[in-house]
Structure formats: structure tokens, C-alpha cells
């Protein structure tokens, strides 16, 4: 009887012990289920026996879809390839199982249930019992898709950076592992030359600075110095060098650095700890702080990252509440969140601020979830701390940078626009809106760029765009004509740059309005022509006039001879032609820019009023009308004789442009520190090609014209520091002469 009771006691003791072990296993399973790292367990026959909740987040498969598969079936189901592997030797023994060595770190891809590919980092380890018997294996996967994209981006940035970026290893021999193309500019050596002979880089260091570099090879301390570098061509330059000694994944030392650029480098991602042993060791491999509490808010454990970042050892937090570790205001916040999680019995994700071991406050995201006891009740919580301080700082920096560039584009006086490869405009700044005479950006977006290109320039622009697409190189600045929304032409100087915009290929267009510059160039060319003609006239005018005067005198004498009376009409015609030639020579002399003028302070209205009877008579002669508008204006320094010639020439052109019944208007007024003389007719207007040649000597549209009338007007205005402008429509032409007020 006594033996029976003893046997029963032993049985109950074993049952109790088993219950405690089951409780402990459930606890660790709950911890595993809350981890954000995908975790898979194999038994000794390479069969999948467990997947935590994070696994579904990566591959999308339910628990029951993959548990029970062999390792080969599991890898085939997820299309996991070999990838870049680092084999990890079993420190215990060689297993007769797992011959394909899952005990290695792999950077590879897997295919999710919905067919998308994810970049992942795989790591595994053996699991043994207390007698060193192999029980199975544990595998973990971390989604590094975004990191892979960043790696490609960083390589592209390094390849295109102006600074020299390098990495060299120290063992087993000194050799460069990477040198950016900028080495050709900074050191004069192509990367291939440095790969072939690494000592070429150090031979270029100035002899006085070589001890500093040699010390770097012997010291693990970071280097930040300004040294002299002898270029391959013999020139010496100062460069700024920053480098640091790091260990590769094998523990071998290597030096990474950047020459001349002091911008921050993207810090390397933490490496996962290669060996994952048992559950607590698995938690310790997570680079983020992980902690767990019971349902009373008492800490029951943490990982190594928590100890490092938070500044508390595992022994210091075990059995203590948050109120014993943090200030009351922070503890109240954390406790309120914990209680809320216990009430909802689910997961919790939120941002907060936590003091780190160095005393600084860090922005973090807390991922928390509850775990249950054997009865299904809430036993506690697991929390993971993700430090987002740097990402927030980067986000703020990117936002500020984006705002800066947006302001620069919007405030630029030049047209800046983007169109896709079909020509559809997808962006324009305010200068572009104004230049194209639009009310807002919406009137431009969506339209094709060809709508705004002048027909005369369409072929040249099309060829330039085709060349840019073929070479993927920016266009050189070139001149062209564009059209506003209402069809008005204007001249620009433009360039195009290929780029990616909103996920697709596009072209950045920059254009500046050169209409005024081209007008000024034409004006300068016209003035040079006027001056040249004037110089020629001044040189030959007197030489021609003297013989003409003699001839005219003899012709007048012949008119008084009775025997020549039959030729009187011929003699009169000859004298008229001589007078016409003399008048043309007089116009020539008026074109000279250095012609002396007799300026006096007087009122322009007085000169117009003095000429009005003569102009009125000519207007009535051709059955036209004269309209004068002469309000009070300031006095000017004028040569009256030249002003009379200028006014009469403009009026004569206006009358010759009109049909009977038209009105010639002469107006004066003051505007913007200037006095304006305006002569307007009601003719048919002038064509654009005629407008471009106004004032050019000998250019005329009249059958009997000399092409000197307007040229003389422009020459007179130049001698009075004035300018002439013309506006012509189908309803008439207006010439405006603008005189600057006297200082």
C-alpha cells in the first residue's frame, strides 16, 4: 500500500514537472510568435514543424500550408535560390542529416504566395538537447527588399559621385576592393590601375603626410585629415580624407573612406548574429531592443540590444516595474499603453519618445503584443523597439531639400517644364505659365509640347529631341521660336535634359525669353548700318555735290538761251533729277551718328504745332483727316530742324500707307519718365518680315522709295538718345518715339 502511494506521488510529481515544462514551452512559443523576424523550426528529419506569425507576413502562406513539408519541398514551394552564401560550420559535430547545409547565411529571394519576389537574408543553426543530441534546426528570414534597392542606389551614387570613394583590405595582403571612377580626376589613376597595384595610391601621398596614412594602417581608429596628394600628372593638391577601419563578415580588417567629400555616408546595416541558439539566444540576435513583462507590468527579461540601447542589464530590470527605471511622467505613459494592450488582448503599434543610454531622447516605434498562459489568459506582453530617429531626420532633411528645390524652380525667372516622351506636358513653373501667356498651370498641363513650337522651328526641335533620346545626353543651348496660348510668337534660348519623372522617362526643358535681346541685337545691327552709310555719305557727299552744283548752274544758264528753248522741258527735268540726287545725298549725311546737332531746351508740342498747317495741307490734298492730341508735356533738349524732319518723315509714311478717308493721328504724352511722340495711321499694316527690317538703309516697299526716310528717323532718334518702336495690325500702324526726360 505504501509502495502504491509512493508510486502515485512520483507520478504526480512527474505530471507537475511536465506541466511546468509545457507552460515554459508555451511561454517561449508566445515570445516567438510576437517576434517580427520570420522563424521556422525543422525536426531532425528536415521536416518543417513550426512557423511563427511573422513568416506569413513575408511569404503570405498560412501555417497549415507549409508545416509538414520537407526542407527541399519548402524551398521549392517558395522558389528560394542558392543566393550569396556564407557557410557556417557546426561547432558540435557533423550531422548525418542536413547534408545540404542550411547552416549558412544566404542573401537570396523568395516567391510569396501572390507571386511577388522579396529579397531576404536567411540564417540557420542546429538545436541540441542537454545530452548534445541533435533535435533539429532553426531558420530565420529577414525581409531586406528595401535594403537591396538601397544598395543599388548607393552603388549608382558612388559611381557618379565627384568624390573618390574607396575600400581596401589589410589581410591577407593590402589590396583595393573598390575604387570609384572619381579616382581618375582626383588621383589621375583609373580604378583598374589601383586594383592592379594598390600602392600607387599611397605613392601619390606627399612624403610629409605619409606617416599619417601609415599610422592608419596600424590603428583601428578613424581618420579625418587634410593631406597633400600628388596627381599622376605631377600637380599637388590638398584633399580631405575621412576613413575608418571596419571588419568584414569574416572578422578581417578593412578600410573604407572617402576623399574630398565630407557628406555623411549611409551607415552599414547591422549584421544578424550568425549563431542562433535556443529561444533566448534567438531573441538576443534581434538588433532591436526586445523586452517582455508579465501581466502585472513586471519585467521578466530583455535581449542584448535592450541592454545596450537602454543602458540596463538584464539583471537590473528583472523583477522591477517601469516606475523603478524611468521618471514618473514617462512611466505613466508606458503603463497606460500596456493596460490598453492587456484590455484589447491583441497587438499595439505606436510612436513615442524613449531616453537612450547616452541620455538622448530617440524617436521610436513600439511593436507590442500579448502572450497567454496555459488557460488562455493574458500572461504578459512582448515589446520590440524600432529606432526611427535617423529615418525621421532623413525624412525631415528630404522634405526641406524638396521644399528648397521646389522654391528654386517656382521662383526661377526662366521657364522650367517637364514633358514625357510622347510630348505631353506634365509640369511647368510659374515663369513658364507667364511666358506662355496662360492663366494658370492647368491651362498647360496635359497639352502636347508641339502646340507651343513655332512651325519654322518644328523640324530642328524634332531632330534635337531625337538626338537627345539616342545619346541620353543633355542638349546644348539653342535658339528657337515658341508660341503662346493665343499663338503669339516669341524667341527663346532653350535646352533639354533627359530624366525620370514620376516613375517614367521624361525631358526637363529650360528656356529663357530672348525676345528683347534679339530686338536689341537687331537694333545694334541697324545702327551700325546707319553709321556705315553715314560715314560713306560724309566721305563722298561734298565730292559729289560740288560737280553737281556746277552742272546745275550751267543748266540754269542754258535755260536763258533762246536757241535752246526747244529743250527747256529736258533742261527742267535734268535740274529736278539733280535736286533729287542732292536730296538723297542730304539724307545720307543725316545718317552719320556724329553729325553735329544744335539742341535747345524747347517743347515738342511747339514743333508739332508749327508743322501742323503744312501737314494739314498735305492731308487735305489726299482727302484725309488730321487729328492732334497735344496735352501738356515737359520740355526737352531738341534740335528743331531734325525734329521737323523726323515728324514730317513719319507723317509722310503714314499718309502714303492710307487710302482716302483715313485719319492721321499725332499724339504726345508723358509716361514713365519719358515723353512720347506717337504717329498713327489707319492703313493695312505691315507684314512681320517688313517690321523686322524697319530702319534698315535702302529697305523700302515703295516703288519710287529710296529706303532712307525711316533710316534717317532712327538716326535722328539715336542722336537724341531716344528710341523708336512700331506696332502694326490690320487696322493700322503706330510709330512711337520715346525721349528720356532731362536729368
Are 421 and 469 in contact, with CB atoms under 8 Å apart?
yes
Residue 398: pLDDT over 90: no
Among 44-48, 94-98, 186-190, 501-505, which stretch is predicted with the lowest mean pLDDT?
A: 94-98
What integer is the mean pLDDT of 245-251?
73
Look at residue 275 and tell me whether its pLDDT is greater than 60: no
**Interatomic CA distance for residues 108 and 104, integer angstroms:** 12
Q: Is the pLDDT of residue 537 over 60?
A: no
Note if the bond before 573 is cis, omega within 30 degrees.
no
Query: Which residues are CB-neighbours of 259 under 8 A, at least 6 positions away?
Result: 163, 164, 165, 166, 186, 229, 239, 240, 241
Given this model, what pLDDT does residue 400 score?
76
pLDDT tens-digit series, residues 424-446: 888 888 888 888 888 888 888 88
- Per-residue pLDDT, 681: 93
624's enclosing H/E stretch is none
Q: What is the pLDDT of residues 660-680, one digit of tens each?
A: 999 999 999 999 889 999 999
What pTM did the predictor assign?
Answer: 0.32
Checking if the pLDDT of 704 tops 60, the result is no
Least confident range from 175-179, 461-465, 591-595: namely 591-595
Region 24-43: mean pLDDT is: 83
* pLDDT given at position 86: 45
* Phi/psi-derived region of residue 325, left when phi > 0, alpha when psi is between -120 and 50, beta in every other case: alpha
- Find the mean pLDDT for residues 638-665: 88
Region 233-237 average pLDDT:
82
Average pLDDT of the segment spanning 208-225: 77
- How confident is the model at residue 675, as a pLDDT? 93
Q: Of the given ranges (172-181, 267-276, 310-319, 686-695), which has the lowest mean pLDDT?
A: 267-276
Specify the range with the lowest mean pLDDT, choosing from 264-268, 402-406, 644-648.
Answer: 264-268
Nearest-Å Rg of the Cα atoms of the chain is 46
Phi, psi of 690 (to 5 degrees): -70, -40
Least confident of 59-68, 122-131, 278-287, 302-311: 278-287
The residues facing 134 across adjacent strands are: 128
pLDDT for residue 276: 36
Residue 144 clears pLDDT 90, i.e. is over it = no
pLDDT at position 667 is: 94
pLDDT at 665: 93
Per-residue pLDDT band at 102 (split at 50, 70, 90) = very low
Phi-psi sector, 359: left (phi>0), alpha (psi -120 to 50), beta: left
pLDDT above 90 (res 333): no
Give the pLDDT of residue 268.
34
pLDDT of 101 over the 50 cut: no
Name the more confident of 162 and 658. 658
Q: Give Cα 640 to chain centroid, integer Å.
A: 59
Cα separation, 345 vs 365, in Å, equals 19
Whole-number pLDDT of residue 269: 34
Predicted pLDDT at 7: 73
**Res. 145: pLDDT tops 80:** no
Half-sphere exposure of 409 (CA within 13 A, CB side): 17
Can you give the pLDDT at residue 631?
93
Give residue-wise pLDDT tens across range 586-602: 655 555 445 566 889 99
Taking alpha carbons only, the member of 135, 62, 70, 143 closest to residue 108 is: 143
Going by pLDDT thresholds of 50, 70 and 90, the confidence category of residue 94 is: very low
Q: What angle do CA 561, 562, 568 make, to 5 degrees?
A: 75
Query: CA-to-CA distance for 215 and 209, rounded, in angstroms?
Result: 10
Categorize the per-residue pLDDT at 326 as very low, low, confident or very high, splitting at 50, 70 and 90.
Answer: confident
The mean predicted confidence, pLDDT, of the chain is 79
- Judged by phi (left if over 0) then psi (alpha if -120 to 50, else beta), residue 133 lies in beta
Q: By the 8 A CB rule, do 571 and 558 touch?
A: yes
Mean pLDDT within 89-103: 42
- 3-class SS of residue 447: coil
Q: 254 in helix, strand or coil?
A: strand
Amino acid at each position: 500500500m505504501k509502495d502504491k502511494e509512493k508510486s502515485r506521488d512520483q507520478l504526480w510529481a512527474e505530471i507537475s514537472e511536465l506541466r511546468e515544462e509545457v507552460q515554459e514551452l508555451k511561454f517561449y512559443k508566445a515570445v516567438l510568435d510576437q517576434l517580427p523576424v520570420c522563424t521556422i523550426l525543422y525536426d531532425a528529419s528536415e521536416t518543417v514543424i513550426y512557423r511563427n506569425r511573422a513568416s506569413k507576413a513575408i511569404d503570405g502562406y498560412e501555417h497549415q500550408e507549409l508545416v509538414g513539408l520537407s526542407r527541399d519541398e519548402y524551398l521549392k514551394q517558395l522558389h528560394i535560390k542558392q543566393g550569396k552564401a556564407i557557410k557556417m560550420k557546426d561547432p558540435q559535430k557533423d550531422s548525418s542529416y542536413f547534408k545540404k547545409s542550411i547552416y549558412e547565411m544566404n542573401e537570396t529571394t523568395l516567391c510569396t504566395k501572390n507571386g511577388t519576389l522579396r529579397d531576404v537574408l536567411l540564417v540557420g543553426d542546429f538545436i541540441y538537447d542537454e545530452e548534445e543530441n541533435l533535435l533539429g534546426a532553426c531558420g530565420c528570414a529577414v525581409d531586406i527588399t528595401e535594403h537591396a534597392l538601397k544598395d543599388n542606389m548607393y552603388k549608382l551614387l558612388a559611381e557618379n559621385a565627384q568624390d573618390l570613394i574607396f575600400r581596401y583590405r589589410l589581410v591577407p595582403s593590402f589590396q583595393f576592393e573598390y575604387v570609384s571612377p572619381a579616382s581618375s580626376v582626383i588621383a589621375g589613376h583609373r580604378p583598374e590601375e589601383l586594383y592592379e597595384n594598390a600602392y600607387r595610391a599611397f605613392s601619390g601621398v606627399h612624403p610629409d603626410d605619409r606617416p599619417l596614412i601609415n599610422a592608419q594602417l596600424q590603428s583601428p581608429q578613424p581618420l579625418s585629415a587634410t593631406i597633400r596628394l600628388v596627381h599622376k600628372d605631377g600637380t599637388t593638391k590638398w584633399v580631405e580624407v575621412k576613413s575608418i577601419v571596419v571588419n568584414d563578415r569574416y572578422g578581417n580588417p578593412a578600410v573604407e573612406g572617402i576623399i574630398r567629400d565630407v557628406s555623411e555616408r549611409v551607415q552599414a546595416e547591422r549584421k544578424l548574429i550568425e549563431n542562433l541558439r535556443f529561444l533566448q539566444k534567438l531573441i538576443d540576435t534581434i538588433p532591436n531592443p526586445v523586452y517582455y513583462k508579465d501581466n502585472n507590468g513586471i519585467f521578466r527579461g530583455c535581449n542584448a540590444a535592450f541592454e545596450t540601447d537602454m543602458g540596463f542589464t538584464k539583471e537590473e530590470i528583472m523583477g522591477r516595474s517601469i516606475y523603478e527605471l524611468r521618471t514618473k511622467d514617462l512611466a505613466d505613459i508606458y503603463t497606460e499603453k500596456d493596460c490598453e494592450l492587456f484590455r484589447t488582448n491583441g497587438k499595439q503599434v505606436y510612436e513615442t519618445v524613449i531616453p537612450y543610454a547616452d541620455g538622448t531622447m530617440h524617436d521610436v516605434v513600439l511593436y507590442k503584443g500579448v502572450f497567454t498562459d496555459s488557460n488562455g489568459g493574458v500572461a504578459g506582453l512582448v515589446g520590440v523597439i524600432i529606432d526611427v530617429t535617423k529615418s525621421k531626420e532623413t525624412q525631415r532633411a528630404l522634405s526641406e531639400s524638396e521644399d528648397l528645390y521646389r522654391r528654386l524652380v517656382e521662383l526661377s525667372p526662366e521657364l522650367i517644364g517637364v514633358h514625357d516622351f510622347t510630348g505631353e506636358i506634365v509640369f511647368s513653373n510659374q515663369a513658364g505659365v507667364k511666358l506662355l501667356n496662360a492663366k494658370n498651370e492647368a491651362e498647360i498641363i496635359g497639352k502636347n509640347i508641339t502646340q507651343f513650337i513655332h512651325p519654322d522651328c518644328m523640324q530642328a526641335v524634332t531632330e534635337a529631341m531625337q538626338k537627345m533620346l539616342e545619346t541620353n545626353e543633355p542638349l546644348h543651348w539653342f535658339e528657337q521660336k515658341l508660341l503662346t496660348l493665343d499663338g503669339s510668337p516669341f524667341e527663346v534660348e532653350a535646352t533639354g535634359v533627359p530624366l525620370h519623372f514620376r516613375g517614367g522617362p521624361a525631358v526637363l526643358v529650360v528656356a529663357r525669353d530672348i525676345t528683347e535681346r534679339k530686338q536689341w541685337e537687331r537694333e545694334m545691327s541697324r545702327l551700325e548700318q546707319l553709321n556705315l552709310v553715314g560715314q560713306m555719305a560724309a566721305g563722298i557727299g561734298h565730292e559729289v555735290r560740288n560737280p553737281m552744283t556746277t552742272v546745275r548752274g550751267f543748266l540754269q544758264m542754258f535755260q536763258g538761251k533762246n536757241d535752246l528753248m526747244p529743250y527747256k522741258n529736258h533742261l527742267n527735268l535734268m535740274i529736278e533729277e539733280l535736286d533729287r540726287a542732292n536730296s538723297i545725298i542730304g539724307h545720307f549725311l543725316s545718317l552719320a551718328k556724329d553729325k553735329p546737332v544744335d539742341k535747345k531746351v524747347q517743347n515738342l508740342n511747339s514743333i508739332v504745332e508749327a508743322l501742323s498747317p503744312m501737314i494739314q495741307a498735305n492731308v487735305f490734298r489726299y482727302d484725309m483727316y488730321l487729328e492732334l492730341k497735344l496735352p501738356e508735356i515737359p520740355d526737352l533738349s531738341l534740335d528743331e530742324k531734325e525734329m521737323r524732319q523726323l515728324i514730317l518723315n513719319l507723317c509722310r509714311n503714314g499718309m502714303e500707307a492710307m487710302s482716302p478717308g483715313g485719319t492721321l493721328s499725332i499724339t504726345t504724352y508723358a509716361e514713365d519718365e519719358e515723353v512720347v511722340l506717337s504717329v498713327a495711321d489707319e492703313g493695312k499694316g505691315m507684314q512681320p518680315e517688313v517690321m523686322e527690317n524697319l530702319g534698315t538703309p535702302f529697305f523700302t516697299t515703295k516703288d519710287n522709295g529710296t529706303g532712307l526716310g525711316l533710316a534717317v528717323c532712327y538716326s535722328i532718334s539715336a542722336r537724341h538718345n531716344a528710341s523708336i518702336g512700331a506696332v502694326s495690325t490690320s487696322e493700322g500702324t503706330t510709330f512711337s518715339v520715346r525721349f528720356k526726360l532731362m536729368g
